Structure 1
Amino acid sequence: MKRLTALLLACTAASAFAQTPDAPAFTAEGVRAHVEFLADDLLEGRDIGSRGHEIAARYVASEFDALGLKPAGDDGTWYQRITFQKTSPGETPATLTVTGPGGAHDFAQGEDVIISPNALERAVDLTAPLVFVGYGIDDDTVGIDDYKGLDVSGKIVVALAGYPDGIASEVGAHLNSTKTETAQAHGAIGFLTLPTIARMKIRPWDMMRHYADGARYTWVSPDGTPFVEAPKIRGQGTLNTPAAQAIFAGAKRSLDAVLAEADKKGARPKGFALKTTAHIRSSSTAETITSPNVAAILPGSDPSLKNQYVVLSAHLDHIGIADPKPGDAPDKDRINNGALDNAAGISTMLEVARAFAESNDKPRRSIVFLASTGEEKGLLGADYYAQNPTVPADAIVGNVDLDMPLLLYPFTDVIAFGADHSTLGPLVAKAVQPMGVTLIPDPMPEQGIFVRSDHYMFVKQGVPAVFLATGYGNGGEEAWKTFLSGNYHHPGDDMHQKIDWQAGARFAEANYRITRAMADGDTPPLWYKGDYFGNLFAPDAMKAGK
């Protein structure tokens, strides 16, 4: 994205960020009040397109209104209303038939294969030869071309999940998330993911199959076309071991050998044509729903900088009500309230907005406060906003996203996922230093979190961005591990948790200081020279020395 070239040429990348004024008071009660409302059972988990989410959206809009902010939605409203397509598996379960030296073998949906419904086709009947493509990465910057010497045109590729050792975790997470686009660029028409030994430890098959029959969502463009990043990939799925073994029948290398090699540090298995074909059949139904982003603006005070925008975002949606399971008690709690994920992030954003609105020292740049929808369905609301912003796209200079701050302990550090790529890293560290809070690097790179929250959609539009969360210090590591293996995406993420509301007030203050520093700095956030994401998504933008 172009980055206000004329203005930046008047600045220098070395300019110091402005000193942050003393932060206003933040209270435990203020943070708790928002979470209490948004995580109430009456909102039924705030699922996309639900009545509960609409109520939550109106709550946020009314808070913005009460603070005297300006609407930043469509047509002078608080809402950017988005049309989504919900694609659900059809009545006939999807199947995968593998034919080769071992004969023909059928694999059922949810047992040994998970086939994703196609957003563009209601019935898919696809047969094509199979080609193993290693990790399925082709990127000159990291020096990997897994497609070299392979003909995949009109074929279905089989790729290892994840990325090889030796690639920076955030770059690897990005490359892993864009494999279908890479396969499409090489002419493939189908894509099958082969979990590695390491991936199965992080996400066992029983965990993956839990989502086999779930709907998929995407936003719909104004012309009515569902947004699909790789529309020519007609069939897509993930393989369990029996299906993978059938696919590798008669191959030059066995499945076990490939997986064993991939499990070695630094190994990169080479691709080769397989001796099997796959027949993918699936059906789906589609319906459209709408759900809003909620957006507000606090105008900047500096005549030269007020036309630049800092975005502070948090997702408002959660996952709604879980389906009943056989044997469930009639009164079993199935409401996924999402108190920490992400009512706590929205509460933080609202408290920061309040502090700015009440301050006599207004920010120099304008601030957009964005409560996004559809994050739990694939970062969809943020993606739509980043591609269709309600302010000039080239005037958005930075984003900080708030997602699932773990307010279960008195945190002493914060994680800014993505901090190493731009001057937002030192800005965050300097902003929270007066609070005695430190900035730590990503402590869980194996989770690929960099591509799993809304800030990533701003990065893809060339905007320096970070995702801020509470850190691992002072009991944080144990709290994170316990939460992710327990209450995460579970009805237990509710107000019955032992939430440390004073930590919530402290997190709000930290984000106020960070947002203030972004808004008041002489120089906006800049990508570092030579940074992977800066070069990829903002090649013409001014860069900073590291």
Structure 2
Amino acid sequence: MKKLLSLLLILISFQAFSQKISVPGSVKKAMAQVDTLTVRNHIAYLADDKLKGRLPGTEGYQMAVDYVIEQFKNMGVQPGGDPGQFTQKLILRKSIVENSSAKAALKDKYGNVDSLAFFRDFLPVPHPLQSRASGEGTLVFVGYGVDIPGKYSDYEGVDVKGKVVVMLAGVPDGIPASTLISHFSSPGNKMNTAFSKGAIGSILVNPSLTFANPNPLLQSNVALNPEKTTAYGRGFVGNLGFAFNASMSFLTGIFLNSGKSLDQVLANLKSGKNSSFEFPLTFSASYSNSHSEFESANVIGMIPGSDPKLKNEYVVHSAHLDHVGVGRPENGDSIYNGAHDNASGVASLLEIARIYSKGNAKPKRSVLIVMVTAEEMGLVGSSYFAANPSVPKSSIVANVNTDMPTLIAPLLSVVPLGAEHSSLMENVKFAADYLGLEVEADPEPEQNRFVRSDQYSFVVSGIPALHIKYGNKTNDPGFDLDAFVKEWRAKFYHRAADGMDGVFDFTAAKTYIQLNFLISYSIANTSARPTWNPGDLFGAKGN
């Protein structure tokens, strides 16, 4: 039945992509002239030691901002940020828990109080909006904390309004798509769901969590709106009164006198059987948070559309401009240059902007080239832009995200993360077919890549989005590309070694740029807006 439903969705998607896109000769010529030397030079500048890892709030990040703006101006790309500006200013807030202030206790129905131990039983999640986070309420076990409208809900049969929810990390069996697993297992999504149900606090239990540092630095980052009343990011954004991570020993303890078998409940949950119930316990908690703020910016350029009507709609190309800055020395090097992550993605977008602006590629819809800040801090810049775009939110039709293309081997196949949820899959197929590339399913669903990059910010805002990653096809029968990528990632991902001395395949870079350009070009020149697949869970979020 599931295969039949998938086939029907594919057929519907093909019908939605009924208008064939032609690629004019001038566009073909511009694509053929993608300059890999220019791409290399972009990466080399952005990954230079003098930028010191492009950490938001530092001079190095500002140098990256200035560089992108200069490139936009040289190409004739128009400002697309705050009125008349290439930048969209935002305030980043760093929140740190004052460990000694953290208190938590359980009270049973007889009034007996049991104090919990910081680090042994629980760790608070920094509250981005309150200097003092606190609350008290009845504990309610809500399984995995998953709520899928019309299909499955851990909240069925329980009332959590004004109460504190306890939930497990992960998802029940039976959620097949890797993107959905990533979404529903995301702590941020679970906390948002708890808040929407009326909970005042949440406790997330991870059975594999081990507390290794008795005095951990508990830190988080968000973007604030100008009034500083709403926070934006992938994780906890302050909508609950408090949030905790807890150990398995905590869960075992609260089950002791509950009248429930923990082992049986866990077995039932894994099989998809709702096992939520209310504990005869009250949980109280409080902890202090210190906040510091600094300014950062997304950098936005615009290529105006040529159609009198469609030019008021926008296709967004995104890539994160930041990296992690200066860190622990490795082999005498403490600057984490981020050449692949994500100087290569920014360089790709700059070349795409050049194709549009200099190659006479006149899209019907307008195209925004958005370099976002603070992706490494939790998708902060893209979360802010998706919620507060520089153009009317309803006018954004799609997002094509570029993050760490991993240009280290010939590009023969691609993985379009997120495209399977909407008609964007047909745009991917069009572009891939044009370039002779194969389209694959995600070979590493366990990496949860769908929720770890900026397209996720657009998806949860109801905007169809995708992120093109490398596939595993190789033209060398004796070469295990999957193993090669994993070995490479262990050496370079978020490591000081990710500089220009690493492996780059600039022929693959050219193909990758052409592919992403063709995806956005086909979206921009198709009369119908991209649509979510019928019944898609992300589509229900709307604009």
The 1:226–1:525 alpha-carbon spacing in structure 2 relative to 1, beyond 3 Å, is closer
Using the alignment, how far apart are the partners of 1:65 and 1:230 within structure 2? 35
Match 1:235 to one of 239, 242, 249? 242
Q: Secondary structure at the match of 1:521?
A: coil
Q: Is the 8 A contact 2:99 2:215 kept in 1?
A: no
Match 1:183 to one of 194, 199, 208? 194
- Equivalent position of 1:108 in the other structure: 118
Using the alignment, how far apart are the partners of 1:210 and 1:123 within structure 2? 22
Q: Secondary structure at the match of 2:509?
A: helix
- TM-score of the superposition, structure 1-length normalised? 0.86
- Equivalent position of 1:128 in the other structure: 137
Residue 532 of structure 1: how far off its partner (Å): 2.3
Q: Is the 8 A contact 1:248 1:275 kept in 2?
A: no
1:488 and 2:493 matched: yes
Residue 281 of structure 1: how far off its partner (Å): 3.1
Residue 340 of structure 1: how far off its partner (Å): 1.4
Using the alignment, how far apart are the partners of 2:146 and 2:55 within structure 1? 34
Q: Is the 8 A contact 1:400 1:467 kept in 2?
A: yes
The 5 A counterparts of 1:282-321 are 282-321=287-326
Q: Is the 8 A contact 2:105 2:113 kept in 1?
A: no
Q: Secondary structure at the match of 1:19?
A: coil
Residue 275 of structure 1: how far off its partner (Å): 4.3
Deviations 1:148-191 (A, max 9, x none): 23233332211111221212332343334422222223332111
Residue 400 of structure 1: how far off its partner (Å): 0.3
- Equivalent position of 1:68 in the other structure: 76
Using the alignment, how far apart are the partners of 1:129 and 1:304 within structure 2? 55
Residue 506 of structure 1: how far off its partner (Å): 2.0
Q: Is the 8 A contact 2:144 2:169 kept in 1?
A: yes
Give the letter for the 2:463 counterpart. V
Give the letter for the 1:185 counterpart. S
Match 1:512 to one of 497, 508, 517? 517
Q: Is the 8 A contact 2:400 2:455 kept in 1?
A: yes
RMSD: 2.7
- Equivalent position of 1:140 in the other structure: 149
The 1:98–1:240 alpha-carbon spacing in structure 2 relative to 1, beyond 3 Å, is same
Question: 1 or 2 for the larger relative contact order (CA 8 Å, sep ≥6)?
Answer: 1
Deviations 1:334-380 (A, max 9, x none): 32222211111111101111122221342222211000112122222
1:500 and 2:505 matched: yes
- Equivalent position of 1:542 in the other structure: none
- Equivalent position of 2:398 in the other structure: 398
The 1:394–1:126 alpha-carbon spacing in structure 2 relative to 1, beyond 3 Å, is closer
The 1:370–1:122 alpha-carbon spacing in structure 2 relative to 1, beyond 3 Å, is same
The 1:358–1:166 alpha-carbon spacing in structure 2 relative to 1, beyond 3 Å, is same
The 1:210–1:367 alpha-carbon spacing in structure 2 relative to 1, beyond 3 Å, is farther
Residue 521 of structure 1: how far off its partner (Å): 2.4
Deviations 1:48-79 (A, max 9, x none): 22221111111111111110110111131111
Q: Is the 8 A contact 1:163 1:173 kept in 2?
A: no
- Equivalent position of 1:353 in the other structure: 353
Q: Secondary structure at the match of 2:469?
A: strand
Q: Secondary structure at the match of 1:296?
A: strand
Q: Secondary structure at the match of 1:283?
A: strand
The 1:305–1:496 alpha-carbon spacing in structure 2 relative to 1, beyond 3 Å, is same
Q: Secondary structure at the match of 1:482?
A: helix
Q: Secondary structure at the match of 1:334?
A: strand
Using the alignment, how far apart are the partners of 1:258 and 1:20 within structure 2? 57
Q: Is the 8 A contact 2:136 2:282 kept in 1?
A: yes
Q: Is the 8 A contact 1:311 1:368 kept in 2?
A: yes
Using the alignment, how far apart are the partners of 2:431 and 2:415 within structure 1? 13
Q: Is the 8 A contact 2:174 2:272 kept in 1?
A: no
- Equivalent position of 1:419 in the other structure: 419
Q: Secondary structure at the match of 1:64?
A: helix
- Equivalent position of 1:464 in the other structure: 464
Give the letter for the 1:104 counterpart. D
Using the alignment, how far apart are the partners of 2:319 and 2:239 within structure 1? 32
Using the alignment, how far apart are the partners of 1:431 and 1:115 within structure 2? 46
- Equivalent position of 2:532 in the other structure: 527
Q: Is the 8 A contact 1:460 1:537 kept in 2?
A: no
Give the letter for the 2:225 counterpart. S
Structure 1: gaps spanning 5 or more residues: 1-11, 539-546
The 5 A counterparts of 1:243-392 are 243-262=250-269, 264=270, 266-268=271-273, 270-322=275-327, 324=328, 332-392=332-392
Aligned residues: 511
Q: Is the 8 A contact 1:26 1:506 kept in 2?
A: no
Q: Secondary structure at the match of 2:389?
A: coil
The 1:430–1:135 alpha-carbon spacing in structure 2 relative to 1, beyond 3 Å, is same
Using the alignment, how far apart are the partners of 1:308 and 1:150 within structure 2? 43
- TM-score of the superposition, structure 2-length normalised? 0.86
The 1:62–1:483 alpha-carbon spacing in structure 2 relative to 1, beyond 3 Å, is same
Using the alignment, how far apart are the partners of 1:268 and 1:41 within structure 2? 53
1:34 and 2:74 matched: no
Using the alignment, how far apart are the partners of 2:445 and 2:315 within structure 1? 27
Residue 273 of structure 1: how far off its partner (Å): 2.2
With 57-66 and 40-49 compared, the bigger mean Cα shift is at 40-49
Deviations 1:120-163 (A, max 9, x none): 2212343433221111123323x222222323333221111122
Give the letter for the 1:184 counterpart. F
1:192 and 2:203 matched: yes
The 1:275–1:490 alpha-carbon spacing in structure 2 relative to 1, beyond 3 Å, is farther
Structure 2: gaps spanning 5 or more residues: 1-14, 475-479
The 1:122–1:65 alpha-carbon spacing in structure 2 relative to 1, beyond 3 Å, is same
Using the alignment, how far apart are the partners of 2:278 and 2:508 within structure 1? 55
Residue 99 of structure 1: how far off its partner (Å): 5.6
Q: Is the 8 A contact 2:124 2:218 kept in 1?
A: no
The 1:522–1:182 alpha-carbon spacing in structure 2 relative to 1, beyond 3 Å, is closer
Using the alignment, how far apart are the partners of 1:368 and 1:184 within structure 2? 33
Q: Is the 8 A contact 1:318 1:338 kept in 2?
A: yes
Deviations 1:87-108 (A, max 9, x none): 1122626354456699735332
